[in-house]
């Protein structure tokens, strides 16, 4: 069995430190040099010949994070690593997973091709925007589930009349899985968009009166949809509204929107580092989840025990 070494990209240093500690190793030494024009040049500062290398990097915009990951994968392959696994806690560009209108890119497929061409032998990620993106890869992909992080936390809240809500039709399966686990009901917020990041109208399908509502989603960007859903649910008579979201992209006026919303709290994970602190945002770590998954992959054991 080859030696395991774990390295981190610039964007995921803090999370990578925690994953490495959970796994039981120190992060490997890697230098990311930059030319004056911003061109990146990674170099491994220790031998990785014959090693199984895990490179941890979320690929949220800007695109430098994605390019940096590809360069690190290429450097590892050229340094004679036995296997290279790209650990991508947040898989960026996943919202562009199909041609929903003419003359647009299927960016998620393009990113899959780039990572494979760079030399990745395996991908490990968490809560893809759409599960079918797994099929874009011709290499093994371990798709971890954030429910293993959120379910124990929700149990500690001891909410009397808990009910789950999908902020849009696309999130129904995600919300239903939580509802099934806690043996409660669920509702759906049906929204219509004029353009990206702008909700034109929304209505709630289901009864939320007197309920403690938990909105479930895979990512929160500007928080427009989430805050609007929370407002409408409150107007329908809900007792409280919270949100659990795996990836806190939080761009634009997201922090302002959340602070001014009726949300009791927004619970996210540390797949993406927060740009600023907020009294309404709670962060749970996925480090132990990824640490256990790396153990399972290197020990050739099942990762199904990590799912709820």
Q: Cite the active site residues.
A: 191
Its sign, for the CA torsion 305, 148, 218, 189, is: positive
What 3-state class would DSSP assign to 305?
Answer: helix
Residues 189 and 211: their CA atoms lie apart, in Å, by: 15
**Cβ(145)–Cβ(129) below 8 Å:** no
Rounded to 10 deg, the angle between the 107-118 and 64-78 helix axes is 30
**Cβ(44)–Cβ(30) below 8 Å:** yes
Strand partners, 219: 247
**Cβ(10)–Cβ(32) below 8 Å:** yes
**Cβ(178)–Cβ(214) below 8 Å:** yes
* Chain-centre distance for alpha carbon 293: 15
**Cβ(274)–Cβ(260) below 8 Å:** no
| Residues whose CB falls within 8 Å of the CB of residue 237, separated by 6 or more in sequence, listed in order | 208, 209, 210
């Amino acid at each position: 069995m080859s030696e395991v070494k774990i390295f981190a990209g610039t964007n995921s240093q803090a999370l990578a430190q925690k994953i490495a500690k959970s796994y039981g190793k120190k992060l490997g030494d890697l230098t990311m040099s930059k030319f004056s024009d911003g061109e990146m040049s990674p170099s491994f500062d220790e031998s990785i010949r014959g090693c199984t290398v895990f490179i941890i990097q979320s690929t949220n915009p800007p695109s430098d994070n994605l390019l940096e990951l590809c360069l690190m994968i290429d450097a590892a392959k050229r340094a004679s690593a036995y296997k290279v696994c790209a650990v991508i806690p947040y898989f960026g560009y996943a919202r562009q997973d199909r041609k929903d209108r003419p003359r647009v890119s299927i960016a998620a497929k393009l990113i899959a091709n780039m990572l494979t061409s760079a030399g990745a032998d395996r991908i490990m990620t968490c809560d893809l925007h759409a599960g079918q993106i797994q099929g874009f890869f011709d290499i093994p992909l371990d798709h971890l589930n954030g429910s293993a992080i959120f379910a124990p936390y929700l149990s500690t809240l001891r909410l009397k009349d808990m009910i789950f809500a999908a902020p849009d039709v696309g999130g129904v399966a995600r919300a239903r899985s939580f509802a099934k686990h806690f043996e409660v009901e669920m509702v759906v917020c049906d929204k219509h968009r004029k353009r990206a990041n702008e909700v034109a109208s929304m209505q709630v399908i289901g009864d939320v009166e007197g309920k403690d509502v938990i909105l479930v989603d895979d990512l929160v960007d500007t928080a427009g949809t989430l805050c609007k859903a929370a407002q409408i649910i409150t107007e329908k008579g809900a007792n409280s509204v919270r949100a659990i979201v795996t990836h806190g992209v939080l761009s634009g006026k997201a922090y302002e929107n959340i602070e001014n919303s009726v949300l009791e709290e927004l619970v996210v994970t540390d797949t993406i580092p927060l740009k600023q602190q907020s009294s309404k945002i709670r962060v749970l770590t996925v480090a132990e989840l990824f640490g256990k998954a790396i153990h399972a992959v290197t020990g050739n054991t099942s990762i199904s025990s990590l799912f709820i």
